[in-house]
Amino acid sequence: MTLPSTILGYPRIGANRELKRALESFWAAKTTREEFLDATRSLRLANYARLTELGLTEPAAIPDTHTYYDQVLDAAFLAGIIPARFADLDGLDAYFAAARGDASHPANEMTKWFDTNYHYIVPEIDSTTAVAYTDRQVVARYTEAAEAGYTVRPVVVGPVTLLALAKGTEHEPDFDPLTRIDDVAVAYAALLAELQGAGAPWVQFDEPTLATDNLPASRARLTEIAARVYSQLASLESRPQIFLAVPYGDSSASFEALAATGVEAIGVDLDRGSLPEGARAEGVTLAAGVVDGRNIWRTDLREAADKLERARATGARVVASTTTSLQHVPHTLEGEVWDEPLNANLHAWLAFADEKVAEIVTLDRGLREGWDAIDADIAASTAAFEQRASADGVTVASVRERTAALRPEDRRRGDAVLRRSLQRARLDLPLLPTTTIGSFPQRSELRVARAKRRSGELDEAGYREVLKNEIRHVIELQEEIGLDVLVHGEAERNDMVQYFAELLEGFAVTHNGWVQSYGSRCTRPPILWGDVYRTRSLGGEWIEYAQSLTSKPVKGMLTGPVTIIAWSFPRRDIPLGEVADQLALALRDEVADLEAKGITVIQVDEPALRELLPLDETRHEDYLGWSVGAFRLATSGVREDTQIHTHLCYSEFNQIIGAIAALDADVTSVEAARSRMELLESVEGTFTNDIGPGVWDIHSPRVPDTAELTDLISAALRNVAADHLWVNPDCGLKTRAYAETEQSLRNLVDAAQSVRERL
C-alpha cells in the first residue's frame, strides 16, 4: 500500500475546544475517568469523520495525532522515560502529574516547540532510566479507529527527536540523553511489531530536530544517529511501512542520508526548506510539504504545483503534504464573519485547517490527473493573491513614510548606569524588590459581566464600573500582601496579544479561531493582514486609574512587537522586520502616553523573543538584529528615570543571551522555576542590568512554600548580585485561581524578606 497525499497532523482540541473542556472537567473531578475517556474517544472519531468528508479517503491518509496533553510526553511514556518521582503513580495520574505537577510531584519542565507558540513537556532521562516499550495507547487508538471503519496512520515523535529534546535528571543533570538511543530504538521496534500485528499499514515518525541548528547536538550528529537508527528500524521484518517526516524547516542536509535508510516515505518542508540540488530518491515516496501548516494564508496553488513537479526530479514517487501538523491553525473558516469588505477579503485570502485539507486534495488531483484538471482552482488562487496586493489597508502610505524616516538614534537610550541611579532615586525600592509579571486571575463577576456586555444585557458604563472594581481589588490585594511594584491585573484584557490587535489597525480577530498552546490552554491568534498603526489609546486609562489608587509604582503593561508577531498569524508579503517596526512605532506612541500620565515603570513583554529564532543558524543574525531593534524602537523614547521592564518566557536563552542584553531593558524577568535557575549560569558576566528569574512556576497548580522559594532566591544569588536581583513569579497569573495565587504571593514576599534579612 503506497502512502497517499496527506496532512502531517490535524488540530487535537476539537472544533469547539472539546478536549479543553474534557480535560478541565476531569482535572476538577467533575467527570469520571471513564467519562473523560469517552469524551476524547468521541472527539477522535469526529475528527476522522470530518477528514474523510473533506476528501482524505484513502487508507492511511488520515493521521492519528491525538494526545491528552502533549505528543512529546506521549512518546516519553511510550518508551518508559518517566522520572522516578512519579513512581508512586500510574497511568493518567502519572501522565498528568508529569505535565502539570501536583501538591507532591513537581512537573517536568515545559518549553517551546521549535519556533512555534506550542509548548512541549521536556523528558527527563539518565543512565538508570528503565527504557522500555510500556505505553500501548498508540496501538489501542489504531484498533479503535479500525473498528470504527477508519484506517488511520499513527503519528509518533521519532526516537531521535525524543532524546534530542530531553534533558538529564536532577541526579545526572549533565547526562547526554542521546547515549540511550539504542535502548529507545528497541522500544520503538516493539511498537512497530505491535502495530504490524494490529494491521496498521503505515506509521509516521516525526523528526523535526533534523531541521534545526538550535539544539545542543549538532545537526550533523543528529543526522548520523537518525540514519543509523532508521536503517535498523527499516530492516525489521515485523513492521508497518515507515513515513519519516522532517517538519518545520530545511532538511536538505539530511535528505539523502534518510532516503538511503530503507524507510518507505520521507516528508520534507518545501516552504521553509528545499531539496538538495541533484538529489535522488528512487524507490521512496516523497511527501512534499507545499501547504503551510503553521500560518493561515491561502496556498499559491501555481507555486505549489511547480514545487511538486520539481520534486519529481528526484525520481521519487511524489505526493502532496502539509509542511507541519495543522495543530498550529484553527479548525475552519466556516462561521467566521468580519465587517465588509474585510469579510470577503479574508475569506478569499485565508485557509484554516479544513481549507488546507481541501488544498491537499486539490493538489493530489493535479498530481494524479495532470495540472490541467485543476486549472480553475489555480486561477482562483492566483486571482486572490493579485486582489490582495492592491486591497485597501494592505499598504498605508503614512505608515511606510514613518518607517522610512527612522534614524539610528530612535533606537538608543542613555547610559545604563546613569539610568539605574536616577530610577533608584525616583522609585526608592528595597533590596530584592518584589513584583508580579502582569495579569491576575479574573473573578467570576468579571467573566459574567463580559458575557452580559457581549449579549447587550450590560451597557458600556456598567461594564467599566466592573473593570474598575476588579482593578481596585487587585491593587488592594497587592498592597495588603506587601508587593513593592504593583500591576493593574489586566482585567480589561482577554489576551495579551488579541487585546492590542483589537485596538490597532491592520489586524482582524476571529470568533472561533482557537489553537492549542499546551494541554488545555488555547489561544485565538489575531490575523495581521495589513500595515499596522495606532489611532487610539491601547488601554492606558486603566493603568492610570490603577496608579491613582496607590502610592506604590504600578507597571504600565504592553506586549512587545516580536511577541505580537509570534502569537498572531502574520502577513507574509513583506519582511517581518518591517512589520516589527510598524508595531514598535505604535507601541512607542503608547509608551509616551503612559509616561505622560505619570507611570514610572513600563513593561514591554517579549516572551516570544527566543521562540522566533530561525531554526537555520545562518538567519540568526538578521533576526536578532531586527527583533532587538524593534524592541528598542518601542522603548527608547522615555526619560532616563522611567524604568523599562521586559519579560521572557519558556526559552533556552544561551543562544540569545547577547541579544537579551542588547534589548537594554532596565529589568528583565524570565521563567526559571521549573529549570531550577539553570539559565542564570549563562547570565553571569553577560548581563549587567537587573534580572528577575521566576521563583514560582505558575503553570502548575502547586503552591510553593516559603522554604522552597527562599532556596530558589538563594540559588539565584549565586549568579546575580543582590542589588540586581528582583523576585517574581515565572509568568502572569491569569490561569491560576485566587486562593493559590494569594498564598503563593504571600510566600514569595515572605521568602524575599527572609533573604533580605540575611544579606
pLDDT of residue 652: 66
Q: Find the angle CA(677)-CA(734)-CA(598) to the nearest 5 degrees.
A: 90
Tens of pLDDT, residues 569-607: 999 999 999 999 999 999 999 999 999 999 999 999 998
In this structure, the chain runs to a length of 759
Same domain? 558 vs 702: yes
pLDDT for the residue 528: 98
In this structure, how many other beta carbons lie within 10 angstroms of the beta carbon of residue 134?
14
Please check if 20 is assigned to a binding site: yes
Whether 364 and 432 share a structural domain: no
Q: Which residue has the cell 493582514?
A: 529
- 117 assigned to a ligand binding site: yes
Tell me the C-alpha distance between 265 and 284, whole Å.
5
Instruction: Write down which residue in 389, 420, 439 finishes a domain.
Output: 389
| Ligand-binding site membership of 206 (annotated) | no
What domain range is 562 assigned to?
411-758
> Do residues 381 and 419 share a domain?
no
Is 438 annotated in a binding site? The answer is yes
Whether 439 has a binding-site annotation, put simply, is: yes
What are 560's three cell numbers? 512587545
Residues annotated as catalytic are: 699
Do the domain assignments include residue 171?
A: yes
Half-sphere exposure at residue 205, Cβ-oriented, CA atoms within 13 angstroms: 26
Asked if 473 and 336 sit in the same domain, the reply is no
* Res 702: pLDDT: 82
Q: Percent helix, strand, coil in the chain (nearest 5)?
A: 45, 15, 40
- At residue 370, the pLDDT reads 98
Number of other residues whose CB lies within 10 A of the CB of residue 568: 25
> Does 443 lie in the same domain as 344?
no
Give the type of residue at 28: A
Q: Which of 389, 422, 447 is the last residue of a domain?
A: 389
State residue 650's pLDDT score.
57
**455 known member of a binding site:** no
User: What are the pLDDT digits (tens) for 239-280?
Assistant: 999 999 999 999 999 999 999 999 999 999 999 999 999 999
Rg (CA), the chain: 26
- pLDDT attached to residue 675: 64
| Among 324, 356, 389, residue at a domain's last position | 389
Q: What is the pTM for the complete model shown?
A: 0.93
Q: Are residues 593 and 649 in the same domain?
A: yes
Looking at the structure, do residues 456 and 382 belong to the same domain, yes or no? no
The answer to whether 240 and 218 are in contact (CB under 8 A) is no
How does DSSP assign 355-415, residue by residue?
HHHHHHHHHHHHHHH-GGGGHHHHHHHHHHHHHHHTSBTTB-HHHHHHHHT--GGGG----
What's the start-to-end Cα distance of the chain, in Å? 70
Q: Is 147 annotated as a binding residue?
A: no
Q: Give yes or no: residues 375 and 466 share one domain.
A: no
Mean pLDDT by 10 residues, the chain (759 residues): 97 97 97 98 98 98 98 98 95 96 91 94 98 97 98 99 97 97 99 98 99 96 98 98 98 96 98 94 97 98 98 97 99 95 96 99 98 98 97 98 97 94 97 96 90 92 96 97 97 92 97 96 97 97 98 98 97 97 98 97 94 95 98 97 90 79 94 69 76 86 91 91 94 89 96 95
pLDDT at 759: 85
The CATH number assigned to the domain holding 379 equals 3.20.20.210
CA dist., res. 208 & res. 210, Å (int): 5
Our count of domains for the chain comes to 2
Are 438 and 313 part of one and the same domain? no
Q: Are residues 425 and 360 part of one domain?
A: no
